[in-house]
Structure 1
Amino acid sequence: MAFQIKQKGPVYDVCIVGSGAGGGMAAKILSEAGLKIALLEAGPKYDPANPEQMTQLKWPYESPRRGASTTRPFGDFDAAYGGWEIEGEPYTTKQGTKFDWFRSRMVGGRTNHWGRISLRFSPRDFKHKSYDGLGDDWPIEYEEVAPFYDRVDKMIGVFGTKEGMPNEPDGFFLPPPKPRLHELIIKKAGSNLGIPVIPARMSMLTRSVNKDRSPCFYCAQCGRGCAVYADFSSSSVLVNPAVKSGHVDLYDNAMAREVLTNSEGKATGVAYVDKIDLEEYRVMARVIVLAASAGETARLLLNSRSSRYPNGLANASGIVGKYLHDSTGSSRAAFLPQLMDRKRYNEDGVGGMHMYIPWWGDNKKLDFARGYHMEFGGGLRMPSYGFVNAIESMNGKYPGRDGQMKPAGGYGTGLKDDYRRFYGATIGFAGRGESIAREDNYCEIDPNVVDKWGIPVLRFNYTWSDHEIKQAKHMQDTFEQLIHEMGGVPLGNKPGPETMYGLENPGRIIHEVGTTRMGNDPKKSVLNKYSQAHDVKNLFVVDGGSFVSQADKNPTWTILALSMRASEYIMSELKKQNI
């Protein structure tokens, strides 16, 4: 039916689907080379400096719901247009398994509201099978990616310190912000336990890197999008400059349905539904770059069926959608009595942690194969009455100002006094770890369900293995050790085996990768080492789908580096007329 679809624009050099980390980087690199680009995004335009979209520095009472609830998963003012559930865009699960799929429908995608934890993979992360025999090695090594990591560091900006840790490769760092008080307490406890606590590595500017972006002014609201572009979001740092170059046509509210091909099997364009006029269009291009997210790209390929590609485009191997995996996550909170009655001062800082715990263990001595890092929060944030669980942990009583134990509860002056006493005295820990990539964790097309645009939806099949469950147990045991060492009171009951030690549902950490993995063998992988489809030479994937394994790091910095690498390979191949 492709001949019936209305065509938009000229025949472009490159059509990119998705404007997040991978798509934004591809648009910037390719447009700087003078190529004519079509950039398709399923959501609206977004600019955190636009007064109509800006939510930075607003108070809860400025919400239409006055802070009582939210229409967004991370709060009314968060820069996330989407969520795990989107009206009219369902997904399903199979055989009673669970998977929570987060979609962000906006220019810049999920980079607008992510934690901006910007970690490189280590040399071992690319070759885990060689170490523990599980999963597969990547077809590339750290040394091949390192020059691109370096360039991403310098282009975007990341703060941190050089530590010389094999599992945490050093980069080009901006000065880190000073630790907050609770972070210093955690660092002291970690030192006593032999657990490293080091400055975080996050992509907020502590000093300028170019004239278009100002340094962070420490409002701690990075999740709302930054009006001065001090934090990294693809929308403000990559897409905006690419569009301003004049070489990029941005098609927003364009819901991609299918990659089009010709009789020779070559990709020729992308068919999409315009979410405003509900008409179907096509954009034609010499090269197609998919960066819609690991799940959405797999869906697009599996829905791109033809007589030549009956199992979906680039899927002769049958691997598209398989080896799906997400980071593990488990968390715990605590109350620190020594932080009661704190002196008040501005402790906002960047939107997130100033320090973190990288993986320090030796998995050969443990009963699970892969590591995790630990994130933490606390301090003098927006005040809340958050010590009820701590009171319950002290048998319903807590120390009053006179040193005597007093009963929980109250109102009026006593309640206000309690607010002030407990303000800033709670902390939270979150573990984020690596799961094993397995073929039996996958997404596929549901044969019976379509979204409101008439596009068949994904169906997920996903379970955690014993490695992930035992890793979560180790997280919880470590949380308890640190809390005890700090003299804290754990909040609530410690998660046990009945909840897989608090292990979050797959997909909940929003780090899903692996559905279009790269490899040297076309029978066991979808892409080659340059993110190019084995079956379709002018088709590339530059989102997390290309990952062979996740590592215990957030995937964004590696997505950016590999997209830059793939984009320069595309330019080289175009010059050689190979694609």
Structure 2
Amino acid sequence: MFQIKEQTPEYDVCIVGSGAGGGMAAKVLSEAGLKVALMEAGPDFDPANPETQTQLKWSYESPRRGASTPTRNFGDFDMAYGGWQLKGEPYTHKNGTKFDWFRSRMVGGRTNHWGRISLRFGPLDFKRKDFDGKGDNWPISYEDVAPYYDKVDKLVGVFGTRENIPNEPDGYFLPPPKPRLHELYLKKSLKKVGIPVIPARMSMLTKKINDKRGVCFYCHQCSRSCSVYGDFSSSSVLVRPATETGNMDLYVDAMVREVTTNEEGKATGVSYINKHDRQEYRIKSKVVVLGASACGTARILLNSKSSRFPNGLANSSGVIGHYLHDSTGASRSAILPQLLDRTRYNEDGIQGMHVYTPWWLNDKKDLGFTRGYHIEYGGGMNMPGYGFGFGMENKNGKIPGPDGKMKKAGGYGLSLKDDVKRFYGAGVGFAGRGESVPQKDNYCEIDPSVVDQFGIPVLRFNYNWTDDEIQQAKHMHETFEEIIDALGGIPNGTKPGPESNYGLEDPGRIIHEVGTTRMGDDKKTSVTNRMSQTHDVPNLFVVDGGVFVSQADKNPTWTIMALAWRSSDYLIDELKKMNI
């Protein structure tokens, strides 16, 4: 037994989650003069703070030499506080299915870690059902979102080139970085086999856009978050400016339990657990905006039960948690013999790809699957590590040694040093990222018997890939084989087969989950309207990937931010009209 403590003052808007969607809503609404409470489940974070910054540090400066930890799944220097498993915050599965849920508990959320691949959805991506008859169309079109894509481009900054590819819309681009050596080989070789390779579109500043952010200096450490704000993180580009307005209060280490409502069914604020004193507090607000991630928002809504909403808040349709889907993913790597024994020079660049392959087969109807994928490329002379490609077999035997004879790589002492030098910079990697078809039977729900360390009921997942996604992964690997052959490369390992779904990653591993609070015009089959406002509760909005009807083969962040800005403008207008 404990008392829920009221906190004052009453805010105009309470926003849950400080990532791409919540951060954007916080910036737009606070700059419009609204009084905002921003709730974050983790600690505060500023990429420029030297006490927490890991940029420009050597691996030996970490007690674990940079290795991954339970709270740094991508390595000790990766700037996402969180991972697929968080101590005291479990989730469960049913029917033997798999789904891995990545959570980043800190101001800015996952945007402190993400690859910063910043792609617009295209006209086809909003209306896929018209072309393949599967899933559902979005209730909005590319034309509805395009003005907000433009706004995001100009505010955040994205490099790229205008290519005039129909379903890969061009935007307002900064100059792209030049291709590195392995990427020049890709451009030259893949042109011969009809696979396009164009400059990547990513949100690192290659040119100054304002006085508050620096320019990328190509240290190849974007996942550590940038101390000069040269890349995009919600913490530096959205939340900090919102705080500077004086109209926003930031609540950190605040685990939101539920959205509170009154007798009329309107949202009145949120109830949250303070992680430090384990007491429950209540924030009052006229409007609630949820941006806690697709699964995080679904969890909050499903836990927000009342006599008016016995199945969860805003869930008269019964579809909250359903249509959960993640991007598909499969990968491969190879050694390029022409890059063995490379001359050493600084080739760091941005972290990630300078070039990529957009989906190039939209007109093909006989692929065995209906939706496409793009290809991300890795390689270059990054911080050295041992093990990439050593001792791999190919059709001609072992990889040739310096004397031209076949040898098995590896060993210790001088032999090891020789191999490290020989293979350094000779590797290239390929990662396919594709669109899955949303399924109602892929969902998250509240586990009836498990709670987290704060006493909040946890999510339970049910998820299965369909043949569409499995065949897509098969096609990815066939394409990787074609690319390796065109490069004259030596593949690492063997091509996966049907026993592993052709190397298809488990759902959740690509960290692009969307769709749990999908938008639509029919309140019987959707949770929000086309402005991300819930059908059942007019003063409750969702600004994360939960509103997505389908994912496209693009990374979701740019669309999350565009829709959050669009929804925030609509909310401001509705408040002025006194409709909310």
Please report the TM-score for the alignment, with normalisation by the length of structure 1.
Answer: 0.98
Residues 496-550 of structure 1: per-residue CA shift (max 9 Å, x gap): 1000000000011000000000000000100000000000000000000000000
Residues 455-480 of structure 1: per-residue CA shift (max 9 Å, x gap): 00000000000000000000000000
Cα pair 1:16 1:23 within 8 Å, conserved:
yes
Q: Which residue of 2 is the match for residue 496 of structure 1?
A: 497
Residues 217-271 of structure 1: per-residue CA shift (max 9 Å, x gap): 0001000000000000000100011011111100000000010000000000100
Secondary structure at the aligned position of 1:50 is classed as coil
Q: Please say if 1:265 is aligned against 2:253.
A: no
Partners of 2:408 and 2:373 in 1: CA distance: 39
Q: Please say if 1:73 is aligned against 2:73.
A: yes
- Within 5 Å, give how 1:187-206 maps onto structure 2: 187-206=187-206
Q: Return the letter of the residue paired with 2:132.
A: D
Cα pair 2:327 2:551 within 8 Å, conserved:
yes
Go from structure 1 to structure 2 and tell me whether the alpha carbon gap of 1:435 and 1:138 turns closer, same or farther (over 3 Å shift): same
Structure 1 residue 395 displacement after superposition: 7.4
Structure 1 residue 5 displacement after superposition: 1.6
Q: Which residue of 1 is the match for residue 278 of structure 2?
A: 278
Secondary structure at the aligned position of 2:161 is classed as coil
Q: Which residue of 1 is the match for residue 373 of structure 2?
A: 372
Q: Please say if 1:515 is aligned against 2:516.
A: yes
Q: Which residue of 2 is the match for residue 42 of structure 1?
A: 41
Q: Which residue of 2 is the match for residue 111 of structure 1?
A: 111
Q: Which residue of 1 is the match for residue 130 of structure 2?
A: 130
Q: Please say if 1:526 is aligned against 2:527.
A: yes
Partners of 2:252 and 2:215 in 1: CA distance: 29
Cα pair 1:304 1:312 within 8 Å, conserved:
yes
Q: Which residue of 1 is the match for residue 165 of structure 2?
A: 165
Cα pair 2:334 2:389 within 8 Å, conserved:
no
Please report the TM-score for the alignment, with normalisation by the length of structure 2.
Answer: 0.98
Structure 1 residue 405 displacement after superposition: 2.5
Q: Return the letter of the residue paired with 2:57.
A: K
Structure 1 residue 303 displacement after superposition: 0.2
Q: Return the letter of the residue paired with 2:211.
A: K
Secondary structure at the aligned position of 1:300 is classed as helix
Cα pair 2:66 2:77 within 8 Å, conserved:
no
Partners of 1:393 and 1:8 in 2: CA distance: 66
Structure 1 residue 190 displacement after superposition: 1.4
Partners of 1:410 and 1:255 in 2: CA distance: 50
Cα pair 2:409 2:419 within 8 Å, conserved:
no
Go from structure 1 to structure 2 and tell me whether the alpha carbon gap of 1:67 and 1:542 turns closer, same or farther (over 3 Å shift): closer
Q: Return the letter of the residue paired with 2:402.
A: R
- Within 5 Å, give how 1:94-243 maps onto structure 2: 94-243=94-243
- Within 5 Å, give how 1:291-310 maps onto structure 2: 291-310=291-310
Task: List gaps (5 residues or longer) in structure 2.
Answer: none
Q: Which residue of 1 is the match for residue 441 of structure 2?
A: 440
Q: Which residue of 2 is the match for residue 313 of structure 1?
A: 313
Cα pair 2:12 2:36 within 8 Å, conserved:
yes
Structure 1 residue 432 displacement after superposition: 0.2
Name the % identity. 71
Q: Please say if 1:246 is aligned against 2:246.
A: yes
Secondary structure at the aligned position of 1:513 is classed as coil
Go from structure 1 to structure 2 and tell me whether the alpha carbon gap of 1:144 and 1:409 turns closer, same or farther (over 3 Å shift): closer
Q: Return the letter of the residue paired with 1:364.
A: K
Go from structure 1 to structure 2 and tell me whether the alpha carbon gap of 1:67 and 1:33 turns closer, same or farther (over 3 Å shift): closer
Q: Please say if 1:22 is aligned against 2:21.
A: yes
Partners of 1:490 and 1:339 in 2: CA distance: 14
Instruction: Give the aligned length.
Output: 578
Task: List gaps (5 residues or longer) in structure 1.
Answer: none
Q: Could you say what the CA RMSD is over the residues aligned between the two structures, in angstroms?
A: 1.3
Partners of 1:464 and 1:414 in 2: CA distance: 45
Q: Return the letter of the residue paired with 1:60.
A: S
Cα pair 2:68 2:74 within 8 Å, conserved:
no
Partners of 1:149 and 1:328 in 2: CA distance: 24
Q: Which residue of 1 is the match for residue 402 of structure 2?
A: 401
Structure 1 residue 74 displacement after superposition: 0.4
Secondary structure at the aligned position of 1:506 is classed as coil
Cα pair 1:329 1:503 within 8 Å, conserved:
yes
Structure 1 residue 186 displacement after superposition: 1.1
Partners of 2:407 and 2:490 in 1: CA distance: 17
Residues 88-126 of structure 1: per-residue CA shift (max 9 Å, x gap): 000001101110000100000001100000000001100
